[in-house]
Amino acid sequence: MADISSYKVAGFNFTIEGELPAMPNLEPFRSTEGMPIFKLQIVSSMAPVPSTPVFKTDDGPGFPEITIDQLYSGGFRFRMRPQPGLPLAAELRTSEDFTQASLLLIEGDKPFAINNSLMLLFAFSTARHGALEMHSSVVINDGKGYMFLGKSGTGKSTHSSLWLKHIPGTTLLNDDNPILRLMPDGSARVFDSPWSGKTPCYKNMEVPAGAVVRIRQAPFNKIEKLPAVQAYASLMASASSFRPFKELADGWHQTLSGLVAVLPCYVLDCLPDQAAAELCHKTVHG
């Protein structure tokens, strides 16, 4: 009988069938409660299948390359490389609703392929359930989570580190891919996930979301609250979503619309200094 491992992230269960390499990032999220929202099976082979191309990421050197094909038989195929030009690391095939998936590990870093497969499946399978997988760094202060958004290299992690250093009582929740949820009661909560980039800080915690702040580099420090339309665009730009999947896009839209109604969103033009962290904290904490 194949090994089956069960996990819960942000209130959603999923299972992995097959032998796993050492993956300490998953361990805090082990759980046997609840029905899985998706099931991933690690397989030893895959037969060729006809498909048509849908999308290919183009984030450049240093970022994974993922191609998406639609299978003629239904469902999708994802092919993953750690970087453009490197050998294929894995192939993931999913059902149309992303609740069932098979993963073939081909070459190289197995945790890379498994983690990226799980992130894709989680983002797509929860799209209709009020969840957003965010590209963000999150700190906890006074019992609430404050999320810092921005393009890679703009200073999300740096701003988190400034809060950790200069704002008393601050701890790090997640430094790369937290989960932001619109809860059934209409409130917003932010959850840790097993995916935190280069900063391992896996706590399996959740807190009410206090505010979202988009970080922009500038030669001065200035913070402004965003109106609803700009707040929607700011959140959407950092969410793991994919518009060509129309039914999923409708789910993400409903979640985003609900979140901007209850969650304050700001833009912070800033220097990487103590004054920026203090200005941000004073504004959003109030």
Is residue 116 classed exposed, middle or buried when 0-12, 13-18 and 19+ CB atoms within 10 A define those classes? Answer: buried
Q: Residue 57: which of 40, 87, 81, 93 has the closest Cα? A: 81
**H-helix or E-strand spanning residue 55:** strand 51-56
Local confidence pLDDT in tens for the 286 residues of the chain = 569 999 999 999 999 999 999 999 999 999 988 899 999 999 999 999 999 999 998 888 888 999 999 999 999 999 999 999 999 999 999 999 999 999 999 998 999 999 999 999 999 999 999 999 999 999 999 999 999 999 888 899 999 999 999 999 999 999 999 999 999 999 999 999 999 988 999 989 999 999 999 999 999 999 999 999 999 999 999 999 887 788 899 999 999 999 999 999 999 999 999 999 999 999 998 7
Same domain, residue pair 141 and 70: no
Q: What is the CATH number of the domain that holds 148?
A: 3.40.50
Position 140 scores a pLDDT of 98
Of 64, 97, 125, the one marking the end of a domain is 125
Same domain, residue pair 236 and 276: yes
Same domain, residue pair 51 and 143: no
3-state DSSP call for residue 82? Answer: coil
Give the chain's domain count. Answer: 2
Please write the tens of the pLDDT for every residue from 171-200.
999 999 999 999 999 999 999 999 998 899
Q: Could you list the residue range(s) of the whole structural domain that residue 106 is in?
A: 4-125
Same domain, residue pair 140 and 64: no
Same domain, residue pair 108 and 161: no
Phi, psi (rounded to 5 degrees) for 94: -125, 160
Of 103, 125, 147, the one marking the end of a domain is 125
C-beta separation of 77 from 69 below 8 A: yes
The DSSP bridge pattern shows strands 36-43 and 100-105 to be parallel
Of 69, 90, 125, the one marking the end of a domain is 125
Position 196 scores a pLDDT of 92
Is residue 239 classed exposed, middle or buried when 0-12, 13-18 and 19+ CB atoms within 10 A define those classes? Answer: buried
Give the Cα separation of 14 and 271 in Å (integer). 41
Same domain, residue pair 280 and 138: yes
DSSP symbol at 127: G
Same domain, residue pair 70 and 137: no
Same domain, residue pair 147 and 189: yes
Same domain, residue pair 267 and 240: yes
Same domain, residue pair 85 and 220: no
Same domain, residue pair 91 and 206: no
Position 1 scores a pLDDT of 52
Same domain, residue pair 23 and 158: no
